[in-house]
Amino acid sequence: RHQRVWWKEAVFYQVYPASFKDSNGDGWGDIPGLLERIPYIASLGVDVVWLSPMFESPQIDMGYDISNYEAVDPSYGTVEDVEKLIKACHDHDLKLILDLVVNHTSDQHAWFKESRSSKDNPKRDWYFWKPPRYDENGNRLPPTNYRSYFAGGTWTWDEHTQEYYLHLYDKSQPDLNWENEECRKAIYDSAMRFWLDKGIDGFRVDTVNKYSKHIDFPQAPITDPSTFIQPAAQFWCNGPRIHEFIKEMNSEVLSKYRTYDGQELVTVGELSLTPDPEGVLPYVSAEAKELSMVFQFDITHVGQGSGFLDKYDFAEWKLPEMKRIVEKWQTFIDGTDGWTTVFNENHDNGRSICRFADESPQWREKSAKMLAMWLTTVTGTLFLYQGQEIGMINAPKEWSIDEYKDVESKNFWAEAVKMTEDGTDPTREERIKYGLQLMARDHARLPFQWDSSKNSGFSDGEPWMRTHDLYKDINAEAQEKEADSVLSFYKRLLRLRKEHKDVFVYGNFELLDADNENTFVFRKQYQHKTALVALNFTSTAQNAPSHEDMNLLMSSYSKTSPETLQPYEGKIYINY
C-alpha cells in the first residue's frame, strides 16, 4: 500500500540537550553528557536521535532563538563535540537529525543586528520592518493588531530606526523575511549546508508552515473586543508562497545530500494550526517533494482551551474525542502517497501519563505501559521524547509556579495574575495555574532521571530546573534491572513493532466502538494479517472486546483474564 522507506519504519528519540545529561557540573546538560549516553539510547531499540537546538543562543526560548547557526552554544560544548556526536551515533547504527529553526533568529544574530542598524542596510529587508500607525489622538500603534504565541503582540518598536519589526514568538525572536532571495540563500548555507556537510542525516523543521506570510499584513478581525491584540494566524500561517519555499529548500539543499548510509535524508516539519487533512497532504505527499512527514498537533491540544489565547485554560475532554483525532491522522494517508507521524509528547507539552491517563502511584506504571501500547501499534513514524520510556511524569503540583522557567509559561502566568488583579477575569489565576500544572512546556524539561543519586544522576551541580521529587521511584537505572519495568516494556514493544512492522507500521487502521468513553479499541490490518489492540483508559475493569480466532500477543499485566481489561490494561491480539 505505502512504499516502504527507512524513515517510515524508524523510531525517533528526541533529546532536549539542556535536560538530558550534564558532564561538567554546571547544571546544564551538554553534548559530552549526551555522548556518554549514546549506548543507552541505542539500547532502547530506536533508530534516529533528534537533537533539539544546541546552537549559539541567548536561551530566551531555550535555543529556539539562535544567534549563530554555525556555532554551538558554549554551555553545550563545541562544534567538535557535535562532530564526535555524529560519529558516535553512526557507530551505534543511529542516525542524527538537528533542529532547523529558520522562521526567526535571535535578535542577537549578526543578521538582525545589521538589519536593525539602519533603514538602508543591505540586510534591512531580511526581516519585516514597518512604520507605525497612529490613532485619532496621535498615539502610536503597531502596524497590525496580531497576537503573538507567547502572549502580547507581534510587533516591537525599535527606537533606533523608528520602525516596528515582526515576531510571531518572543520579541527577541524576529521573523526572517523569506520573500528576500538573498536571505533564503543565507539560510540554506548557514543553517543547513553547514551541518549537512558534517554528515547529519536530516532535520526536524521548526514552525515549517510560517515562512510565507500575507505580506500586505491586513488587520485581524476583532474577535475579542476586550483587548487590542487578536488571533491572526490566517495572515501568517500557510501563506501564499509556502509550498514554493519548501520545494526550493528541498530541491536546492535537501535533495543534494544522503544519509551516512547512503539513503534519502529525512525531514519532519512542525505543522501547527493546520487542522484539515487537505491542508497537510501537500506538505507530505511524496510526489510534492517537500517534507518526509510532519507533526500535526490535535493530539497535544486535547485539554487545551480554544485558540492560543486560552491554551492553558483547561477544557474538559472525553475519550471519544481523542480517539477520533487518532483516527483522523491514521486514515488521512489512506489511498495517498503521504505519510504520518505518531507521538504524544515533546518538549512543548506536559507528560502524557498526566494528560491522558493517571499519574497516581497506584496507576502510573500501568498507565505508561498502556500508552506505550497505543503508540507502538499505530501506523506512521513513531517519535518518543526523552524520559517517556521510563514513564517520567509532570512536576509535582505542590511546586510553586516560580519553579517554571519557560517564557511561554511565565508570560501566560503574568497575564493571568494581572487579569485576576484588575478584575477582568477574577478566577483566571486559579484556572491558568491548573492548566500550567497539567500542560506547561516546563514538565518535559525537568532533568532526565538517570538513577537514585543526587539530582537523579543528571548533574553534580545545581540543575537549571529542579529535579523531580520522585526520581528515586522513577529512574532509568532501577528500571534497567527490572524485567517488568516501563523501560523493559518499551524495549519489548519496540522489538515487536519491528517484528510485525507490516501490520503495525504500515497497516490499515480501523477504530472500533468509537463512542465508548472508557476503552480505546482498534484493528490494524495488513493483507491477511490482523491485530486488535484494546486499551483501558480508566481505573476500573472494563469488558475486553470479542476476539475469536485471535491470540493474545501481549498484555501489560502479567496475569490476564480473557473477558476483562483490568484498570489501565492494554492488550494486543493477533491472528497469526
Residues labelled as active-site residues: 206, 270
Nearest CA to 378 among 335, 410, 333? 333
CB of 271 to ligand TEU, least distance (A): 9
Question: Which C-beta is closer to ligand TEU: that of 199 or that of 279?
Answer: 279
Positions in the binding site for ligand TEU (CB under 6 A): 61, 64, 101, 149, 169, 206-207, 270, 272, 297, 347-348, 408, 441
Nearer to ligand TEU, 169 or 520 (CB): 169
Nearest residue to ligand TEU on Cβ basis: 64
> Which is nearer to ligand TEU, 315 or 478 (by Cβ)?
315
Place of cell 501506523: 379
Q: Where are the alpha helices (DSSP H) in 172-241?
A: 181-187, 194-196, 233-236
DSSP string, 240-257: TTHHHHHHHHHHHTGGG-
Burial class (CB in 10 A: 0-12, 13-18, 19+), 340: buried
User: DSSP string of 512-561?
Assistant: ESTT-SSEEEEEEEETTEEEEEEEE-SSS-EEPPP-TT-EEEEESSSS--
Q: How far is the CB of 73 from ligand TEU (least distance, A)?
A: 15
In the bound complex, what is the minimum distance in angstroms from residue 338's beta carbon to ligand TEU? 20
Q: Going by C-beta distance under 8 Å and a sequence separation of 6 or more, which residues neighbour residue 28?
A: 18, 22, 75, 76, 459, 464
Q: How far is the CB of 280 from ligand TEU (least distance, A)?
A: 14
Task: Name the residue nearer to ligand TEU (CB basis): 298 or 513.
Answer: 298
Q: In this structure, are residues 67 and 172 in contact, taking their beta carbons and an 8 Å threshold?
A: no
Minimum distance from CB of 361 to ligand TEU (Å)? 29
DSSP 8-state code for residue 403 = G
Residue 196 C-alpha cell reads as 549537512
Q: Output the smallest distance, CB 346 to ligand TEU, in A.
A: 7
Residue 454 DSSP label: G
Pick the closer one to ligand TEU by CB: 269 or 507.
269
Query: Least distance to ligand TEU from the beta carbon of 294, Å?
Result: 11
CA atoms lying within 13 Å on the CB side of residue 135: 8
Q: Which is nearer to ligand TEU, 270 or 569 (CB)?
A: 270
Are residues 573 and 532 in contact, defined by beta-carbon separation less than 8 angstroms? yes
Return the bridge partners of 164, or none.
130, 157
Residue closer to ligand TEU by CB (options 48, 476) is 48
In the three-class reduction of DSSP (H, G, I as helix; E, B as strand; rest coil), residue 295 is classed as strand
Nearest C-alpha neighbor of 344 from the set 321, 317, 376: 376
How many beta carbons lie within 10 A of that of residue 37, not counting itself?
Answer: 19
Three-class secondary structure of residue 181 per DSSP: helix
